[in-house]
Amino acid sequence: MSRALVSVPTTARRGEVIEIRAMAAHLMETGHRTDATGTTIPRNIIHRFVCTYDGDEIFSAVLFPAIAANPFLAFTTTATTSGVIAFSWFGDDGSVQQATAEITVT
């Protein structure tokens, strides 16, 4: 994985529903293709995504080979306190891509 893009409002009112969007750049190799020599290219997908808000998990997803390259996820949560929203993408190859965003709640 090379980069992650996240979209989180920088400010919100307490109790406001906010939209969070996340995307990770990843080739998402399914494990069904072969290279020029006929050798099967090993599966390498993002198989799990987790988002936490001030340390508490607010969203997670298990992904499968049919997911597109550069998977895009959008979901909502309620703004409760100012803090850090952290994102983690886990790849089959053991890689972990992480990103964070801060939100100020008034």
Q: What is the CATH number of the domain that holds 9?
A: 2.60.40.10
Whether the pLDDT of residue 78 is over 80: the answer is yes
Q: What is the pLDDT of residues 25-51, one digit of tens each?
A: 888 888 889 999 999 999 889 999 999
Residue type, 3: R
Residue type, 90: F
Domain total of the chain: 1
Q: What is the pLDDT of residue 39?
A: 95
Q: Stretch 78-100: mean pLDDT, rounded?
A: 95
Q: What is the pLDDT of residue 1?
A: 58
d(CA 26, CA 3): 8
pTM of the model: 0.89
Closest of 8, 29, 2, 21 to residue 98, by C-alpha: 2
Q: What is the pLDDT of residue 26?
A: 83
Q: Stretch 13-27: mean pLDDT, rounded?
A: 94
Percent of the chain surpassing pLDDT 90:
78
Whether the pLDDT of residue 96 is over 80: the answer is yes
Residue 68's domain comprises 4-32+41-105
